Amino acid sequence: MPTVPTPEELGSLPHVPGSRPIGAYDLSSYASGAREIADAGARFGQAIADIGNATYKIGRQQAVTEAVNKNTLLKKVIQLNSLGAIGLAGAGIRSQDQDDQ
């Protein structure tokens, strides 16, 4: 049976330059397209997060409104507080007008 030669017996491969040039591929359009897709994905994710935040705020506002409407005392306190704030704002404006004169 013939013996299999070892790598040392075979020696190294000869270095022969290729007979034709190696082509290069321009992949810059793919890279810019991939970057734009990634940016669009990030913007889409942010839009989804904004929708979630808006939905949460709407739900919270509805819950507060329902709680206030159920509790007449709380409703009166909030109305009184609003009137007090309007009165304080009016007093502050009058005070400023007197200081200007």
Domain ranges (residues) in the chain: 29-70, 71-101
Q: In the structure encoding, which two tokens stand for residue 53, read together?
A: 């935040």
Neighbouring C-alpha atoms within 13 Å toward the C-beta of 27: 6
Which pLDDT belongs to residue 20? 65
Which pLDDT belongs to residue 101? 56
Three-state DSSP class for residue 4: coil
Which pLDDT belongs to residue 43? 94
pTM attached to this predicted model: 0.43
Q: In the structure encoding, which two tokens stand for residue 61, read together?
A: 């506002």
Q: Which residues of the chain have pLDDT under 50?
A: none
Cα separation values, 54 from 15, 47, 60, 62, Å: 67, 10, 10, 12
Length of the chain: 101
